[in-house]
Amino acid sequence: MNTTYAGISLALLATTAYNVGLVLEKRALGHMPALDMRRPPRVVASLLTSRAWLAGFALMLAGLGCQTVVLTFEPVSIVQPVLASGVAVVLVLSRLLLRERLGGAETWGVAAIAFSVVLLALSATGTSTEAGHRASPAWMAAVIIPSVAVGVLVAGSSLRSRSRKHGVPARGVGYGIGTGLLYGVAALAIKALSGILVSHHTAVSIVTGVISSPYLYVLAACLIVAMLLFQAALQACRASIVVPVSGVASSVYFMVAGTWLFHEHLPASPVRLSLRLAGIVLAALVLIVLSRRAPEKAPGAPGPAAGKAVPSYLADVRRR
């Protein structure tokens, strides 16, 4: 059996677990007081005392674990588009759990993203693709440091705009781009850590290698900062804006930077190369279209007709 089929299956499992956890977090955040990023300890305490949020967080960690494993034997150009397809999971679960309706564009988007996964699978038929595991530490630092700085600045400017008269959709896009860059850097760190699973063959050597690797601490720092900002974004903005934009930013960043830094190659066959590129481009285009078509009601806009109850996790979070 071609390892790519197993890799795509595991990547689908990873993105499903991650995005189901994301929706559970969104639902839990709707029942919490407004998160104040100026008081991180209070924010962390609020999150850690919510069983519903912790359940979602545990699923997200499981998804990240599966992602680390699949990156040990599959290239970025296959794994990341599949991981990005998790926005379809968000759209479906938003309808089932958050009671948001899928419009015609969203339905077609789910179908198109599923088709892109099929194209990626077909692009691997009869080939044995190799995943890169080593990257120059100097080049990694040269890419990661400015990326983190830009991500924090963009997301931070959206956080500060909560007290200004800026459009809510624009703020959601800013949150998405900033957190997407931070999650993209975290994905690079995961990719670097996946090499330890390949080069070490005993549990002790793997644990020692992971603990001594600087990428573990880059991963932890990026995930903590991105997670806190993302929670504020989920509570203040519609998931239908934040999630797709963050996914686009993270996916494009990781595919471009990861493929270059880890010296991975696209398929040599023109047919398989066309299928691979078509799958990547289709997934990216659908995510962009979905993010642009997801209107978000600004605070103070007229609500639904009287008599129609709206769950608290769908209501806009009012400043307290």
Predicted pLDDT at 15: 87
Look at residues 220, 186, 246, 190 and name the one whose alpha carbon lies nearest to residue 26.
246
Predicted pLDDT at 293: 56
Long-range Cβ contact pairs of 104-113 (< 8 A, separation 24 or more): 105/289, 105/290, 105/293, 106/290, 106/293, 109/286, 109/289, 109/290, 112/282, 112/286, 113/85, 113/87, 113/88, 113/282, 113/283, 113/286, 113/287
Q: Is the dihedral of CA 150, 155, 159, 164 positive or negative?
A: positive
Task: Give 69-119 as a DSSP string.
Answer: HHTTTS-HHHHHHHHHTHHHHHHHHHHHTS-PPP-HHHHHHHHHHHHHHHH
pLDDT in tens, 11-54: 888 888 988 888 888 888 888 888 887 788 888 888 989 999 99
Distance CA 274, CA 130 (A): 18
User: 295: pLDDT confidence band, cut at 50, 70 and 90?
Assistant: very low
Residue type at 211 in one-letter notation: I
What's the N-to-C CA distance of the chain in angstroms?
56
